Amino acid sequence: MTEVLRLTGEAAHDDELLARAASVLRAGGTVAFPTETVYGLGALAFSDDAVQRVFTAKGRASDDPLIVHVLAEWPLDDVYRTPSAELRRLAATYWPGPLTLVGPRGARVPAVVTAGLDTVAVRAPAHPVASRLLELTGAPIAAPSANRFTYVSPTTAQHVLDDLAGRIDLVVDGGPTIAGIESTVLRVECDGTLTVLRHGALPVEWLTDEDPDRFVDPSEDQDRTASPGRAVRHYSPRTPTVAVAPGRALAAHEATAGSRVGHLGYRDAPAVLPARWTAMPLGARADLAAVARDLYATLRAADAAGLDLIVVELCGGTGLGRAIDDRIRRAASGVVLC
């Protein structure tokens, strides 16, 4: 049985529920909770057994490492081994927020969390529910997105239940998440280079105080060991899904005659669709924050609509557009019609 704790926004009531969630975590249980990006499935980061339950619930490959969540003021030496001045500066500047920093793995972090790597990914979430839960738990929480492995990430408590009901102990329902796509993941190299392992909710272009030349963006086909989350198939609906270039004209012959096709495009640049295709707008290109926020809910709705094919239009551009397009390409298992 998975228990659902529904927060109301009333401080005393919510605190009582979060104290319950924290006690489940401290006892080694699994708790899904909202962050500002997507819902995470948390367990005590320093407990081998608790973390193993997260892998089992998700059906996650054991070579795919988890992100450790901490309070922004948590001592970095507790999670990283001798964190560099640069790692400290980045954490002090950008936490709490949707930026995950990969650095040397601290001795207390079990190998199961990092899939055996000698680095660990850490972030301090900005969502008040996540930070209060960390405070009440009093320990770092390892948490991947709370979806079945390779499926679309969850942005509501209902998404979590659709995937994991009966497989986890608790879901904290704190309403829909705000950013809607996962954190940006940066690896801080010894020479000061910042390797972008995943474009995300904090686009590197927004880090205007950083020298842009420091960012290195490995090619898309980088080998899986550098950051396993870069696997081409990820965030994917079960319905066959293809991506199309922005504004690309569509032709009826591209889908089998009589098949049901859902087209996810943009309200402010509507594509002319073949007859009988269903338009399922992702929002407006002029408001990419809203597109990111609603992307996974729209993909999940399309997947539940009994379609034969989902066609998703890339939005193009840099910044948040690049992070959105990364998720769309992976949802389509890398199949992009140009």
Binding site residues, ligand TXA, CB under 6 A: 35, 37-38, 40, 64-67, 98, 100, 102, 114, 117, 119-121, 125, 143-145, 182-183, 185, 197-198, 227-229
- Percentage helix, strand, coil, to 5, in the chain? 30, 20, 50
Do the beta carbons of residue 149 and residue 10 sit within 8 Å?
Answer: no
What would the x/- binding string for Mg ion be over residues 225 to 254, using CB under 5 A? Answer: ------------------------------
Which residue's Cβ has the minimum distance to Mg ion?
Answer: 145
Structure tokens at 246: 């922005």
Q: Which does 66 bind (CB under 5 to 8 A by kind): Mg ion, ligand TXA, none?
A: ligand TXA
- C-alpha distances (whole Å) from 147 to each of 21, 43, 126, 143, 231 are 19, 15, 21, 11, 16
Angle at 139 between CA 134 and CA 141, to 5 degrees: 65
In angstroms, rounded to a whole number, what is the distance separating the alpha carbons of residues 103 and 124?
Answer: 14
DSSP 8-state symbol, 80: B
- In the bound complex, what is the minimum distance in angstroms from residue 289's beta carbon to Mg ion? 20
Residue from 37, 131, 145, 177 that binds Mg ion (CB under 5 A)?
Answer: 145
Strand duo 241-244 + 309-313: pairing: parallel
DSSP 8-state symbol, 174: -
- In the bound complex, what is the minimum distance in angstroms from residue 37's beta carbon to ligand TXA? 3
- In the bound complex, what is the minimum distance in angstroms from residue 161's beta carbon to ligand TXA? 16
User: Whose Cβ is closer to ligand TXA: residue 231's or residue 284's?
Assistant: 231
Which residue's Cβ has the minimum distance to ligand TXA?
Answer: 229
- In the bound complex, what is the minimum distance in angstroms from residue 170's beta carbon to ligand TXA? 15
Q: Which does 50 bind (CB under 5 to 8 A by kind): Mg ion, ligand TXA, none?
A: none
Do the beta carbons of residue 281 and residue 264 sit within 8 Å?
Answer: yes
Asked if residue 177 binds Mg ion (CB under 5 A), the reply is no
Part of the chain binding Mg ion (CB under 5 A), chosen from 51-59, 126-134, 137-145, 255-263: 137-145
CB count, 10 Å around CB of 24? 20
Asked if residue 100 binds Mg ion (CB under 5 A), the reply is no
Amino acid letter, 175: G
Binding footprint of Mg ion on the chain (CB under 5 A): 145
